[in-house]
Chains A and B, each alone.
Chain A
Amino acid sequence: MKVGRRSFLSFIIGGAAGTAITPLPWKLMDDASIWSQNWPWTPVPPDGEYSYVNSVCTLCPGGCGISVRKVDDRVVKIEGMKGYPVNAGGICVLGLSGHQLLYSPTRVKSPLKRVGKRGEGKWEKISWDEAISEVAKKLSEIRSKGESHSVGSIVNADSGTIPNLFKRFLTAYGSPNFMTMPSMQDSYKMTLQLMQGVNAQAGFDAENADFILSFGSGIIDGWGSPVRMFKANSTWKANGKKVVQIEPRLSNTAAKSDKWIPIKPGTEAALALGLANVIITNSQHSQKISQSSGFESFKKLVQNEYSTDKVSQITGIDSASIVSLAKTFASASKPLAICGRGQGSTPGSLNEFMAVHALNALVGNINEQGGVWAVPEVDYIKWPEVNLDETATNGVQKERVDGAGSEYPHAKSLLNRLAEVVNSGDGSLEALFVTGANPLYSMPDSKAMKKAFDSIPFVVSFSSYMDETASNSDLILPNHVCLERYEDVPTTAGLQKNIIGLTRPVVKPQFSTKNVGDTIMLIAKALGGSIAEAFPWDSYEACLKETLGAKWDVLVENGFWSDSNSKTVSGEFNFYPKAMESLSNFSPVSLEGSTASYPLVLIPYDSIRLANGYIGDPPFVIKAVEDTVLNGKAACVEVNPKTGKELGLTEGRYASLHTPRGKAKVKVHLYEGIMPGIIALPRGLGHTAYDKYLAGKGCNFNELIGPAEDPVSGLDAAWGIRARLTKV
């Protein structure tokens, strides 16, 4: 058949028309859209059986109750637990993101042994048996050399069974070096010890106070138990209670307070004493308290050294404001003064704590409704005495490497001194355990800390995540994350009541991890002898059940146990302990750096959207960070527009920030809420470890600041550092 041009064209046109009236193109069009609605690379969350499990969040010391929504054995959502005494259903950004940590790519999925150089990131997977025997072998070696005291541990806190298992382990092994991460609670405890002679936590009956005077405490920025403080703040608002915030920066707390009084940073103690002076001069103080020992000396101190005019000069607050603040504070029916800057993650100057505590005492609110309570620790951990063998007996009597208890007699742990002591060669550690803490990120002068770690031959991390400390260790024996494990959570963060919460396994462990309680017991058992005997339990769970005794059932049933009636301890109040003598001539904690080369003062600020402790921000939380805090890869430094103008810096431009300890490239955020001459950086950024959602974003404030030893407590009193900001 001959195909002519004409028949060919007819065929083409006819074919096209014919195809168009068949269902084919329409079907294809429909199929294509259906395909786009079901792209195989867009996940379809599988359905399953729904359930809720109650537990307790351990991501910060807040100790909130959580209700975890599950579908089959998957966690799909974490919510605040209704009726839980700490958070009453509320929850914070971090707690909400706990499931992202559970399923995080940054988790350590099995025991790991370093194969490359330290911090190089080369690891070998090993079995749990190998890991335990590796640790035991090393520890036996050290012990057999009679060096048992050169083993130390860094633990997140010192209450609860896990820290106590570590303490017990070190004791049985023969080392005094049980160290904890520092916080304002250390300073509060010491204050209560020095001024009231009691061994207790400071608890704040915040909900019942009617005038809250906060010396820089981030009431709604994560201070204390965060969710509880948010709730208290709303209660105050609903009932017309007043909050006065004293700090150099308009923080969220300052903005939400009834009055923000900017103060020259570092002079808070002087203000507290100046207020005390006005109160005493006006005889507004509680009459009962004037009988206390040291009252007369205290009165002399404030009247001679803290006259309103002088305090005005020191603090930069005008005299009239000081007088009126003192009057309103003292005439409130339930005034409460609190301190501990920001989230209270640094201990701060003891003078400040004592001065503020004295202010509370003056208005008679110690152990009173709406006041500060001395809350004794719940003593539910009653384990049999450890039988010490000879090595252990010798070891525990040695001086601690950080000088706590010796150089600084009141201190229990001074981790802030560790870097300097180790780096100066005055003390040495052969082995170090780290659990629930990330000191290489969160201790001031983290670079010095890293150097100190480098000189410790054997570092074992129990971290669940590949954090900065874990990445620089020799061996990682990963703990379960909180959604996978049992743990008792005695809540200590400023609660006026003893509450123990129960963290419990919500889902099966995702990886080959172990509860750190079990791990430490296995190591003890591998070491044998009296060390093994100190741990008579079959497992951590058995230990926990036995320890909690009758409380266990209550915990399983309700999720928490709380003291039926609140307990406080009251000792003899001493207004003017010897430790306060240094206040007879006020000098603020000196700042590192010279004014000439560092004309500005750099302070940190805390945000509830930035976790700055052991846990780093999970993806959801870092997503919620504002672009004026983190912008691209740069952290933003807050600068008053006036200061910015002087320095020729405009909004959003890059600048180079120098302090005597380090430097960082930052972006400028002009903020009218910060005192001219002062600049502020957020804490919680600048991770080098974790996943791509967190690592490499912003700079770590701790790399820019160094510790300053408080002369009395030995704790870190630094609140800022001198700095220079230049255009780049």
Chain B
Amino acid sequence: MDSALIPKGLKRCSIGKFYLGIALVGAVVLWGVYAMLLVWIKGLNQTNMNDSYGFALWIWADLGIIALGGGAFFTGFLRYIIGKDELKNIINYAVVIGFVCYASAQLILGIDVGQPLRGWFIFWHANVHSMLTEVAFCLTCYFGVLVIEYIPLLLENRQIDKVPFFHNLGHNMHEIMAIFAATGAFLSFFHQGSLGGVAGVLYGRPFAVREGLFIWPWTFFLFTWSAAAFGPCFTLFVTRLTEKITGKKLVKQNVIDLLAKIAGWMMGTYIIAKIIDTWYWATVTAPSKGFTFMDFYSDNSFYGIWILIAEIVVGGIIPALILLSPKGRSNSTALFTAVSLACIGVLINRWVMVLQVMAHPVMTFENWFLYVPSWQEVATTILPVAGGIIVIALSYRYLPIFPQEKELNP
């Protein structure tokens, strides 16, 4: 049965080994599900969040994985809209990773709200002024797009493909994929941006607030840009990781090189914009509200200036330089280091834009608020990661994700 499901001509590990791995990861999933049920049944008192730290680990994880999942929309944009045809060899995987990231994000939001049963009020009673409303609509629509993009992949499974209806459906869906990719790119542009807007519009929070264009603070554009820059890095990171685990080359180097080069350019330009943004905020925005730049990075035991350096230099400038140099891209270790650093960099950025915003005291008579997540928060954060690993593993095993796999592994 198992071998009948595996794509023709491709080698996969033994069923025992595979499902042992799945079982191990599954145990982590169960742990996460247990924590999730605790939170749903007993409420958010299972977390260590508090009234000053209302947004915490989960929202960071949410923003983080959505940024990392940006590889899907941006690769799709490059492949279908710009016409970078080589990328067809990695787009499937980008879509699977994106699907996993967005599904995870939706799940986390469902756990994070205090009244999950009323979560749909965000659509029904939508407030058009709220960035979160924009996030909810675009995110959900884009998730729909990802589902539509994922379905034809599913239909390519050897057994499903045997059914003529599904075969034709899959074929027809592939034909119109460019429309969905365009829609996805458009939606992503907005929801990545509105996630940035979530922090940027908080004019009561001098650490987060940014000026901007029309209704959008600069963080809106920075988030979209960074998702486009760092998302492909995550796609490359997972691809490389998959190659290491399976011990096979799955995508040709020229494809990797192209995506890495584009990511490098995006990152380089992004980081310049980010530095300008930080500079303007530090020298104009913050002082106009009575803060010096160092007010945000001192007098507490965690948020030192190191975090800004880690984000911009270690997680931005350095990987950008590596990816921009042909030598860096062609060296497998350098490339892997670069995409790893880039992922960390964007995760730090999202961390800072959520957690440091909450931690920084605004009223003069308050102190920094620091918090340590509870195990339930950690478990529910790991849950989608573990779930994602399973989805990716199953997809890889049973679907012809990598068009070049057969050729590269004769």
Which positions in A face B, CB cutoff 8 Å?
5-6, 9, 29, 32-33, 35-37
Contacts and interface: CB of A to CB of B under 8 A. Distances in A.
A32 B117 contact: yes
B118 A33 contact: yes
A37 B118 CA distance: 9
| Interface-central residue, A5, A9, A33, A35, by most chain B CB under 10 Å | A33
A36 B163 contact: no
A561 to B, nearest CB: 46
A3 to B, nearest CB: 15
Contacts of A6: 163, 165
Q: Determine the interface band of chain B, counting residues with CB < 8 A from chain A.
A: under 10
A36 B117 contact: yes
Interface of B: 115, 117-118, 120-121, 163, 165
A203 to B, nearest CB: 39
A29 B120 contact: yes
A5 B166 CA distance: 12
Given A32-B117, A33-B115, A35-B117, 13 more contacts: A5-B163, A6-B163, A6-B165, A9-B163, A29-B120, A33-B117, A33-B118, A33-B120, A33-B121, A36-B115, A36-B117, A36-B118, A37-B118
A217 to B, nearest CB: 28
Contacts of A9: 163
Contacts of B117: 32-33, 35-36
Contacts of B120: 29, 33
Nearest to B114: A36
16 contacts: A5-B163, A6-B163, A6-B165, A9-B163, A29-B120, A32-B117, A33-B115, A33-B117, A33-B118, A33-B120, A33-B121, A35-B117, A36-B115, A36-B117, A36-B118, A37-B118
B43 to A, nearest CB: 11
Contacts of B165: 6
Nearest 9 A/B pairs, CB to CB: A32-B117, A33-B118, A36-B117, A33-B117, A36-B115, A36-B118, A29-B120, A6-B163, A33-B121
A35 B117 CA distance: 9
Contacts of A35: 117
A332 B405 CA distance: 99
Contacts of A33: 115, 117-118, 120-121
Chain B contact residues: helix, strand, loop or mixed: helix
A6 B164 CA distance: 10
A32 B163 CA distance: 39
A25 to B, nearest CB: 11
A29 B116 CA distance: 11
Nearest to B164: A6
Contacts of A32: 117
A380 B120 CA distance: 70
B161 to A, nearest CB: 14
Contacts of A36: 115, 117-118
A511 B273 CA distance: 72
A6 B166 CA distance: 10
A37 B121 CA distance: 13
A35 B116 CA distance: 12
Contacts of A5: 163
Nearest to B118: A33
A35 B120 CA distance: 14
Nearest to A35: B117
A32 B118 CA distance: 8
A255 to B, nearest CB: 15
A35 B118 CA distance: 10
Nearest to A5: B163
A368 B47 CA distance: 63
Contacts of B115: 33, 36
A579 B204 CA distance: 65
A5 B165 CA distance: 12
Nearest to A6: B163
Nearest to A10: B165
Contacts of A37: 118
A540 B198 CA distance: 67
B1 to A, nearest CB: 15
Contacts of B118: 33, 36-37
A233 to B, nearest CB: 23
